[in-house]
Chain A
Amino acid sequence: MWRIKAEVKLKEGVLDVQGRAVEQVLRQEGYDVSGVRVGKMIEFITEKKMDLELLHEIGNKLLFNPVIETIEFFLEPVS
């Protein structure tokens, strides 16, 4: 079995208002951070290892919107 994680983020250059708010609070708390982006992670299990083409098909169909977001997949075997 395989665990697949899809990491979805707003594209660079697209204002991320959640990231901006989180960054403001972190800085207010005294942490010297910048470039905070809030994304989302979608995780699922498959019996067989999926090829990247199929994963991108799933991504394009539902998981992300290429107009505003990027997607990255991470695969790991689960026992």
Chain B
Amino acid sequence: MKVGVVQFPGSNCDSDVFYVCREVLNQETIYLWHEEKTLHGCDFVILPGGFSYGDYLRPGAMAKLSPILTEIKNFAFQGGMVLGICNGFQVLTESGLLPGSLLKNENGRFICQWTSVRVENIKTPFTSLYRKWESLKMPIAHGEGRYFVDKNTLSSMEQEEQIVFRYDLGNPNGSMDFIAGVCNQKKNVLGLMPHPERCSESVLKGEDGLRLFQSVFSLSGHPLSRLA
């Protein structure tokens, strides 16, 4: 599988995602600069964490108008796999690829800590290697991660099983219904605030994020270097 990691000015988790895909999981991986007008044949596009355009105006607001987003929207519309982590999640909600929005944390602070996240839906290409209701240990690091969506959209998302991850030991940022990650109706676009790329190696004291990437890579039948 060919992976594209998008780089905006201000992205800062791009190398971590790139490292996990290429070095840990042995996938062909390239960087995609935000001004590019092609995805170079990538099968899986990841929008990493960071502070694209310095979070000016709103997190993800400027990034959604980057040339590469036009390509990503077309790609997603055709069923292409797109993952947004942290600021990448904010870019996906701003661009309308995912419902809702991310607001400043309820306690008004930047939160950087390990957190417990429950897998709500394993019938997505991103979570097929997890067990339903499994609790994962993943780090969060954000100032604006409070998920918000209007009540009508929320109930339709619940019906369509679009809520993929929920915080399960407390609600660190005050997200509506403990929501930590959501997907689109077609299940090919996922966004989450926790950082799976920061818990994909035992040296980092956690490997619960690895299966998210492996779930996607298992779709292509590519021999994975570290599949259990």
Contacts and interface: CB of A to CB of B under 8 A. Distances in A.
A18 B108 contact: yes
A6 to B, nearest CB: 11
Contacts of B62: 62
A62 B57 CA distance: 9
Nearest to A20: B108
Contact of B65 (A17, A62, A65, A68): A62
B206 interface: no
B104 A17 contact: yes
Contact of B174 (A15, A18, A61, A68): A15
Given A15-B106, A17-B106, A21-B108, A61 B65 contact: yes
A14 B108 contact: no
Interface residues of B, number: 20
A65 B107 CA distance: 22
A16 to B, nearest CB: 8
**DSSP majority for the B interface?**
loop
Interface in B65-101: 65, 93-94, 100-101
A18 B104 CA distance: 9
B31 interface: no
Interface in A40-70: 61-63, 65, 67-68
Nearest to B96: A67
Contacts of A21: 108
B141 interface: no
Interface string B148-160: 1110000000000
8 contacts: A10-B103, A14-B148, A17-B103, A17-B105, A62-B61, A65-B101, A67-B148, A67-B149
Interface of A: 10, 14-15, 17-18, 20-21, 61-63, 65, 67-68
